[in-house]
Structure formats: C-alpha cells, structure tokens
Structure 1
Amino acid sequence: MNRYALFCLILLQFFFACSNPNKEQSQKVSLELTSFVKLLEYDLRNLENEITALTDTIKYFYSKKESLVSNADKSLFRFENGIANPLPNADLNLSTLYISELAKDKNEAMDLVYVTNPIDPLFKALFEKYEVISQVYFNSIPQLSRLYPPYEALSVLEPDLDITSFNFFYEADAVNNPERGNVWLSEIYIDPAGRGWVASLIRPVYIDNELLMVVGFDITVNDLIGIYLNNTSRNIVIVDGRGTVVAGKAKAIEGLSLPPLKNHTYSQTITSDSFRAEDFNLFRSKSKEVRNLASRIILSEEKYLSLKDEDESFNVIVERMENIDWYVLDLVFE
C-alpha cells in the first residue's frame, strides 16, 4: 500500500467514525492527527524493510569474505590515528571509517574493512533516498565503525572509544534483542559523531551464530520537525516512553510548562550546548497538572484528556505509535 492509498483509507475510516452520532465529538481523534501518525508509522516501516535488506546484503558479502579480502583495493582507505576518509577532504562516495585503539586484532578489523567496502554505494543510496535518514552506519565487535555520509571524525571521536558500549550497539545484542530483529531506540540521545539529538533504528548481523556488528539508521530530531511537524497545522508534541519530548511545536511545548524555547523553536534549543533532555520531560514540568497529565498518558494509557490551570486551558488527544514507544499528543487550545 502506497502513501496515497493509506491516506484514502484513513479518510474513509474517519468519515465512518464521524457518522456515528453516539460518539461525542471530543472523543474522536482528529483526521490530521490520525494521518500524521499513520503516515509516520508507514515511513518508519519502510525503513525497517530497508535495514533488514541491508543486513542480508552484508551477510552475503561476508559469505564471500576470502575473495573480497584478496581482491580488495588496499589503497582505497588511508588511516590516520585510526580514522580514514574524514571531512573536510573526504571522498563523498565513501564512508568515514574508525578503528578504536581498543581493537584486539587490527588485522581482523582491516579484513572487515575490505569485506564491507562494497556496502558504501548502498549506504549512500539509502541516505539519498530517504530524507529522514541522517546517517547510515555499522559498529562491530572488532571495533570498526563505518558511517555515511563522511564526517569530521578526527575532531569528534576519541581514539579509544569502545563502540560496543553505546546504546546504538548493545540494545541489539543477544541479551537485549534475543529475537535478533529490528530495534527502535525510543529514547533520544546525543550522537557522539556530533549530529545532535537522534533516534535510531538498529539491527544485528550474526555470522555463524556470532554477533559481528549492529547496523543503524539515525533520524535527527531536526529532521522530524522539518519533515513532519512543519507540514501539519496541529499543535503536536511527540514524547518517548519516559515522557521526554522527542519533537514538537513551540506553542504545544510551552503549553506543557516546559522551559522556554530559544528563538521559539525546539530545533534550535536541542542543538545548543545547554540542552538537557531531562529539562524537557513531562514528569519534570513545573506544572503539577502537566505531571499528572503525563502519568495519565504514559502510565494509564488514556487517550482523551484536558488540562486547565491559571495559565493554559486545552484538550489533549493521544495516539501511541505502533513501531516505536512514542506518544503523539495533539493539544487543542480553548
């Protein structure tokens, strides 16, 4: 089903829901909110299909390991302090590579470089195909990281990072992901490669029943705002399962008694050095009513709420996303 057909289906469902006179108008999720959530979910499912196909391709390359290593262009990447092809002088057709000083076997890491060199055109194609993807990468047990598009790794990365110690690796390991499937990191986190606050889709790659690497797609919060929120007139806020704002319209965020936004945009706030995720958590709002609202949304799974205090008065319609542990709030101001 394409995006147009999905939108038509949503429209029909909304029409029949509204034709039922027994339902109060306040208990109907708005068409724009429903469309917003369903189309976002649809796009995220496409990314899930893509990352599954990508991991299958890497497994295929690894089955040709001996040939790929022996025939590889050994001069394609030149490493300096464990880093190859960084900006500003990077070849934009290739990824930036990083081998940590913690690598136990540098030859094993280099073999993995040669085996996965053919993956760069696919990384680039995915980055260019999906506007929402900010970077495509893998991190591996041999302490090799490959990331596209290239970035200023020399000034961003410490030489002795343990790349398996980050949540975008260990959340997909055997302990946290025994099913070995796709994993959405529902909590936003600061990207060590310097791209701000991101959400990630990750998937493990097993070779001979051993975890070799974790492949990932990153979505920056700025992209969520620019691609989705700026295309709706609704006062929408997206929060994760812990109540932290992932993205949102300025009026809606301020209505929830969270800190004032720099220059009235959440995107400029989250890219500043002073941003702290806990400051934008509904459970930490200065308003007791908002903290209670958060409990009713996340702990009690309520979908239709209202808030009235001295400063604001609005209704809230909530939809929980299927792919990822996020809640989409539509604030309707009175």
Structure 2
Amino acid sequence: MTTPESPSPLISLKQWLSRTYIWGGALSLSIVAALLLLILLGTYYLLAQNHDRMARKEHEQQMIQALQARTNWVSAQLESVQGNLQLYRKQAERVFSEQRSAIAAKRPLDRSQDNLFSLSPQNVLYKSGSDGIAVYYSSLASDLNKRSTYAAQLLPLEAIMVDLQQSNALVQQIYLNTPDGLNLIYPFVDVVQQFAPDMDLTSFSFYYLADASHNPLRKNVWTDAYLDPAGQGWIISHIGPVYNGDRLEGVVGVDLTIKGMINTIFASPQQWPGYGALIGKNGNILALPPEGEEDFGLQELTEHQYSFQQVDTNQFKPSQFNLYKRKDLTDLSRLIAHQQAGLAQVKLKEPSVVAWNTVPATGWKLLAIAPEHELYVHVTAFEAQLFDMALLAAVLMMMVLLIYVSWQYTRNSRLSRQFQAPLDYFQDVIKQQGQGLLDRPLSSNVLEIQQTAELIHNLAQQKQALEQQVQNQQKEQESQNKYFRNLLNSIPMPVFDTDVEFRLQGCNRAFEAFLGMTEAELKGHLITEFIPLTPPEDGTYQHELVLSNASGQSRHINVLVTRQLELSKDRKSELAMIGLMIDLSDQYQVRDQIVFDRDRAMEASQLQSEYLQAIRHELEEPLGTLHQLVLQLLNNPSNTSALVRQVKEKTDILISIAKDHWPESSDNYMTDQPVAISQNLQDEKSSSVGRILVVDDGPVNTMLARSVLQKVGYEVDVAFSGKEALSMMRNKRYHVVLMDIFMPAMDGIETTQLWRAQERQQNIRPAVIIALTANVLESERQRFFDAGMDEYLAKPYHPSELRDRVDFWYRKQLSQTN
C-alpha cells in the first residue's frame, strides 16, 4: 500500500522562475564546472604525487650521498688516530724491550735523572715542573725505591708523545699506563692534585679493555665514552697493549674528547638540512651536537665540574644515552643495529628522516638527521604552487557562475513582471467572488490568459450557487439534528450509537444520567469500556446484564443493539451500531418479592404445621382421658361427683397447655389466680431466668418461638425488625438472640454486625446470636459466622430442637459467667 505524498509548499511566481531558470541553469553550470574542476584537481593531484615521490627520493638520495662522504671523512680522521697510536705503540715496545735487555744484562741502573722526580706527602712519585709530559707513579708500586729509575727509562717516549698529540687535532692527550701504577701523560697534568695517591690504573676501562682477558688478539681497541680522571671531561680512548714476549708491559692510548669530536666532525656545514650524531658499537651515543639534544631528550656530556673531586672509578654515560635501550626509539634502534646503512622516517620532536652509515675504521654508526619539512622544503613549495593554481581555477569558475546568475536574475525579473500582473488580476477577482471582473478588462494579448479569465468568471458564478445550496442544506440538517436530538432525549431509556470501531459517537440524556458522564466525556471511548457486550457481525443482538449506574446501584439491563452491513461494488462498508438499554430492575424486584413472600409463607405454614402437630401430641392424652371420663359419666350416673372432679383436673391440664402455647388468646377465659401465681413465680426467679430475644418479621414465627421457649421458663421478647432489635438492646441485656436472616430494610447480617459493634462500644458481654434461615449453603453459613453469629438453625425446625440449642448456649453463658 503506497502512502500519499505530502503536497509541496507553495512558492511565488518569481521564486518558481528563479528555481527554473536561475538556479536550474546555475546548477547545470555548477555541475559542469565542478566536473572540470575535479578533472583539473585530479590532474594537479596526480602531478603533485608523482613530483612529491620523485623529489623526495631525490632529496633522500642526496642525503645518503652526503652522509657517505661525511662517513668517509670521519673514517679517514679516525684512521689517522689509529695510525698515530700504532706508531706510538711500536715505539713503546722498543723502549720496554731495551729496558728488559738492560735488566737481563745486569747493567747498573742509570740514576742520573732521579733528580727530575719528587715524592708527594702521600708517597706518590711525580715529575717536577709544569711542562712536557707528566709522570705519576702510584704509592701501590711493588718496588717503591726503584720507581724513579723505571720512570726515567720511559722518558724517551716524551718526544713522540708530543709530536703525535700536536699533529692530530682530534687527539686531546696521549698516555702510557703500566700494571705497576706508572702513568705518563701529555700534555702536562698536575697529577698530585688530579689523581688519588693509591689509584689503581688497571681498574679503568682505558687499561683493562686492552689486557689479555679482554683483548686476546692484542689489537688496538676503542673504549666507550667515560669521565677522564685526568680532568679532560668526557672522552673516548683508542688504546693498544704493549707486550714484551707474553708479558704485558703496559697500555698506550690517545684520548679524544666528546667536545673535540663534535667540534671537529660536526663543526663544518653539513650537506643535509639537519645535524649528525655518532653511535658506538653497543648503541651508546658518543657525540651529539646541541641541535639533537632536544630531539633525543638529552644533554650531551662534554665537560665535567670536578670540584677537586678525584675520579677513582669508571664513570660511563647513563643508560638513556644508549640508543638500543630506548623504548621510544625501538624501531629505529632495531634498524640501525642490524643494517650497515639505511634510511627511515621516525617521530622525534617532529617528523624527521634519519639516515645512517657505518664508519669502516671503528664500526661506529654515523647518523644524519633532518626534519621532514626542511628536507622536503622544495617539495612543499611545489605543492603550494599547485594548490595556488587550483585555487585560482576555482575562483575563476566561481566568477563565471556569479556572472551567469546575475544575467539570469535580470532576465527572471523581466519575465516575472510580465506574468505577475495577470496573476494578481485573477487573484483579486477570485477574492471578490467574481464581482468586478467585467468592469475591469484584462490588458493582455495572450489568448490563454483571456480564456483563463472567462473560466474563472464561470467558476465564480457556480461557486455562489453552490454556496447558497450548501447554506440551505446546512439549515435543514441543523433542524433535523435538533429534532432528532429532542426526540432521543425524550426517550426515557438510554440510547447510544457508535462508529465502525465501536467508539461512542452520541447518546441521549438518559444514557448520560445512567453513567454519570456527559456526551463530550463519553465520545471516543469504546462501548465495551462501559457495557461488556460482544458486538454482532450483522443484524440485531440482545443480552441481559447487571450494570452499576452512576449511583453505584446494580441494575438489571436488557441491552438491544443493531448493526447492518452494506455491500458496495468495490468493497464492504460497515454502518454504525445503535444500542438501546431497557431497565428490568423493577420487574426483577417484583419477581424477587413474590418469590420471597411465597418462600416465607411456605416456611411459616410448615413451621406452624409442625408446631400444631407437636401440640396435638401433647393434647392427645388429656383429651383421650377426658373422653373416657365423659363416657363413664354418661354410663355411670351414680359416681358423678368423682367423675366430675377428674374431668375438672383434665380440663385444667388442657387450659394450662393452651396458656403455654397461646398466652394472649387465653387471657379472655383463664382465671386470674394462675396468672398471678405465675407472675409471682417469675419475680422470684427473675435473677436466674434466661432472657431471649426473637428477631423475625413473621408473626407466626415469633409466636411459635416465644411459645416454645416460654413454656420451659425463659423470658422471651419479640422484635419485628433489625432496627427494633437494636433499640431493645440498648435497654436490656439478652443471653440468646434468635436472628432471622431475610428481613426487609435491614437483614439479619447487617443487624448482627451493628449489634456486635454496639457491644464493643459499650464494653458488655456479647450475647449468643443464632441465625434462623432456610438457606444453609456452605458459602451462606460462612457469611453468618463472618458477621458475628455463633450458630445457625435451619427452618423449619422442631420445637424440641429449638429448645435444645437455646438451652445449650444459655448453660454455656451461665458457666462462663460463674
């Protein structure tokens, strides 16, 4: 099923022309311009991407070539240092060889140069003066007396040490260390002030890395950066062992300071836009210029403030200087560690390009680091130029579009003026209901417009005629609705009608009064909310229900509804449902009253019959005896006095029985003496006589119950309604109450509830209440007990049964009281 489309919003003629001509043409032109612009931008983009890829590759290749040239230069510088050390090492081996030969030949020691040395207060042997090489001989030497002789034998090395240090700018100082604690160093150092008197030279890396355990091949090796005990700050040493046979005579070395390496290697302008760094074999950053400190989050260690504190142990750079241990540079360090050369893009402080190459002389890695925006500056400039060209093309297209829109707007205004005047004329004529159309000629030479004007004139006339017909029909409809409404309201029975969905559409006043709601409040509600009925599919339907009206009263209602179905050509349509409610409560009440009176009459008749039958049994013996005495008196006149006396005794017995059963009726013919005697007897026993109240609206029932109970000595009162019983309760206390259930106005259930409530209010001992009823269903018996009754006695009952139940409860009352 398709949903109807919502109508489009109305627009003016000028707006329609604008959309059709201006914006429609502008849209077409914009689409064409956008396609051309997309093609142009796509071409620019592909060109920029291709140029970017080629330019980046070219700049990266230039960077690698520049790094390779710098690597070769650094390798050459370090190879010259290695050559100087090798020359110095050979010279030291010859000096030690000569020294050992002299000792082996047992030539006398030359002590002519002993005056060049002095002893410090800490027993350190040192060379006097402040120029040339410095000599330090530790107080830990094995032969303290021969220290000056041994030191003097090595002084010939001073010339080569001076020459080598001054010939190479990278070499900061040159030295010789022996396992016995002798140190020769150039340039001069105040060793007494700088070195500890008992310093163990063999414990430093610049010595033990060259011994047999660390360097079994006896090659020259490079140390990591460490803090120099001689006061030069952070340095790197190139060391070599000096052997005489298998005896390690000493270790020679040259020191390169970190600061000197930075100034020498990285001072000259780089061939790439950035800086360089030098990484050792184990990943330690050996030299880092100031430009890289911020990128790596480090401050390069070059100088050290000794503050007269002697360095007596190895001090290496902290772990953050080890590139291979930095978690933030894991990818870069992995590449550098496993590749001799390469290039990678990494994120330092900013996106950067890092190229590296291995220095052949040492195995170190030389890094070239350049920010991307500086390395690819020409690439970015070209992209900016392409962007400017694309922006210029877009601006030109926008200008062409604006010119087109302006031209179309002018054209649209002219067309709008040509069409708007006739339309305004038509609108004014329609507003005036066609009046004035002939008096105002339309100044237009367009045939269609003139035909439209005539059509509007005809439509206006037809409209006036239709409006008059509609007004007449509305008046007639209002009159019929008013008549129909008055007719419905005059019907005393509730009437309603619904729509096809069984929702209330209207009702009369009787229906409003029955439900206690107005027609406006009821309208729109389902009829089943108020009347539980099943609407018929077709035809008429009636059903008797018990409904509660607005006052809460239950009424017997006969609901009569009718519903019809009409078949059309294309589909089946349903008519509204009309309903009528007939109140049958009065008929039900009359019927119930008739049934109630019949049941009570039958109950009284049966009870009276049983009671008379009981009296008959009591009178049979005395009447039979009296009959025999009368026969004897007739047959034997001689014994008249004795028979008369016996007849009188039997007659008194009959009178006594009659008085017991009908005390009121016997007052006319009974003697006064027995009544007086009975009254006196009652007064004497009034304190112990049981007080019984019979509550029944049937006079026969009350008479029989009172007769039976008075005969056995109870004091019996009678109430013919529940209200009378409650009034008697306020003036007298009763032991047992015989309560009839079905009584008018106030039944036995309600009377019992009010009786119990007054007992609780007055705080008195409750009386025993026995229900008298012909209805002994289980559900009804439970109602008696819930109301406060103690027992029930089904009608009709035998007098002896009544006496037994009253005696039982009276004795129980007396026993509880005692």
TM bracket, shorter-chain basis: 0.7 to 0.9
Correspondence 1:44 to 2:78: yes
CA contact (8 A) 2:125 2:139 kept: no
Measure the CA separation in 1 of the matches of 2:108 and 2:355: 54
1:101-123 per-residue CA deviation (whole Å, 9 max, x = no partner) reads 22112245433312111111211
Q: Which of 183, 203, 226 is the equivalent residue of 1:189?
A: 226
Equivalent residue in structure 2 for 1:122, among 160, 166, 171: 160
Find the counterpart in structure 2 of residue 57 from structure 1: 91
Aligned residue in 1 for 2:131:
92
Write the distance in 1 (CA, Å) between the matches of 2:324 and 2:87: 39
Secondary structure in 1 matching 2:110: helix
Deviations 1:50-100 (A, max 9, x none): 2222222122223332379426522122232414237xxx3312x111111
Could you tell me which residue of structure 2 aligns to residue 237 of structure 1?
277
User: Structure 2 CA distance, aligned partners of 1:92 and 1:237?
Assistant: 35
Deviation per residue, 1:273-332 (Å, 9 max, x gap):
5995333333455x72x23312221245562111136x4101110011122242111012
| 2:250 is the counterpart of 1:213 | yes
Deviates more, 1:213-222 or 1:135-144: 135-144
Over residues 190-209 of structure 1, what are the superposed CA-to-partner deviations in whole Å (9 max), with x where a residue is unaligned? 11112111111111111132
Structure 1 CA distance for aligned equivalents of residues 268 and 255 of structure 2: 21
Secondary structure of 1:231's partner? coil
Q: Specify the alignment match of 1:329 in structure 2.
A: 367
Aligned: 1:271 with 2:303: yes
Q: Are 2:349 and 1:305 equivalent residues in the alignment?
A: no
The one-letter code sitting in structure 2 at the alignment partner of 1:308 is K
- Which residue is 2:291 aligned to? 251
In proportion to residue count, which structure has more strand?
1
The one-letter code matched in structure 2 to 1:322 is: P
3-state SS of 1:131 partner: coil
Moved more, 270-279 or 109-118: 270-279
What SS does structure 2 have at the residue aligned with 1:78? strand
Q: Is the 8 A contact 1:140 1:213 kept in 2?
A: yes
Match of 2:117 in 1: 77
Structure showing greater Rg: 2
Say whether the 8 Å CA contact 1:243–1:282 is kept in structure 2: yes
Structure 1 stretches of 4+ moved >4 Å = 272-276, 299-302
Say which structure is richer in helix.
2
Deviates more, 1:276-285 or 1:215-224: 276-285
Please list the CA deviations of residues 115-134 of structure 1 after superposition, one character each: whole Å capped at 9, or x if unmatched: 11111121111111111111
**2:323 paired with 1:282:** yes
Q: Write the distance in 2 (CA, Å) between the matches of 1:33 and 1:102.
A: 49
Aligned pairs (5 A) from 1:145-224: 145-185=183-223, 187-224=224-261
| Worse overlay, 98-107 or 199-208 | 98-107
1:17-47 deviation per Cα after TM superposition (whole angstroms, max 9, x unaligned) = xxxx9x9533565343222211111121122
Residue 83 of structure 1 contacts residue 153 of structure 1 at CA under 8 Å; is this kept in 2? no
1:133 matched to 2:171? The reply is yes
State the alpha-carbon separation in 1 of the partners of residues 343 and 216 from structure 2. Answer: 36
SS in structure 2 of the partner of residue 164 of structure 1: helix
Conservation of the 8 A alpha-carbon contact between 2:220 and 2:239: yes
CA distance in 2 between partners of 1:108 and 1:178 (Å): 30
CA distance change for structure 1 residues 31 and 77 in 2, over 3 Å: closer, same or farther?
farther
Letter in 1 for 2:293: I
Give the superposition deviation at 1:271: 1.9
Give the unaligned 5+ runs of structure 1. Answer: 1-20
Q: Shift of the alpha carbon at 1:221?
A: 0.4
* CA distance, structure 2, for counterparts of residue 291 and residue 92 of structure 1: 49
Of the three residues 103, 109, 114, the one matched with 2:141 is 103
The two structures, once aligned, show a CA RMSD in angstroms of 2.7
Q: Is the 8 A contact 1:244 1:277 kept in 2?
A: no
- Percent identity, please: 24
2:286 partner SS? strand
Change in CA separation of 1:272 and 1:182 when aligned onto 2, cut-off 3 Å = closer
1:107-163 per-position Cα deviation (integer Å, ceiling 9, x unaligned): 454333121111112111111111111111011022111111111222221111111
2:237–2:254: 8 Å Cα contact kept in structure 1?
A: yes
2:114/2:148 contact within 8 Å kept: no
2-structure distance, mates of 1:133, 1:72: 32
Matched position secondary structure for 1:204: strand
SS, match of residue 317 in structure 1: strand
TM-score, normalized by length of structure 1?
0.80
Equivalent AA in structure 1 for residue 93 of structure 2: K
Structure 2 vs 1, CA of residues 184 and 69 (structure 1 numbering), >3 Å: closer, same or farther?
farther
How high is the TM-score relative to the length of structure 2?
A: 0.34
Partner of 1:15: none
Letter in 1 for 2:140: L
Tell me, yes or no, if the aligned pair for 1:41 and 1:322 is still in contact at 8 Å: yes
CA distance, structure 2, for counterparts of residue 101 and residue 328 of structure 1: 42
- Distance, in Å, in 2 between the alignment partners of 1:331 and 1:42 is 22
Question: How many residues align structurally?
Answer: 297
Alpha carbons of structure 1 residues 105 and 76: separation in structure 2 relative to 1, 3 Å:
same
Aligned with 1:270: secondary structure?
coil
SS at match of 1:161: coil
Question: In the alignment, residue 278 of structure 1 is paired with which amino acid?
Answer: S
2:331 counterpart of 1:292: yes
Higher relative contact order (CA 8 A, sep 6+): 1
Q: Deviations over 1:232-262 (max 9, x none)?
A: 3341011222332211222233223x23x4x
The range that moved more, 42-51 or 25-34, is 25-34
Q: Which letter does structure 1 place at the counterpart of 2:170? A: V
**1:17 corresponds to which residue?**
none
Is it true that 1:112 corresponds to 2:146 in the alignment?
A: no
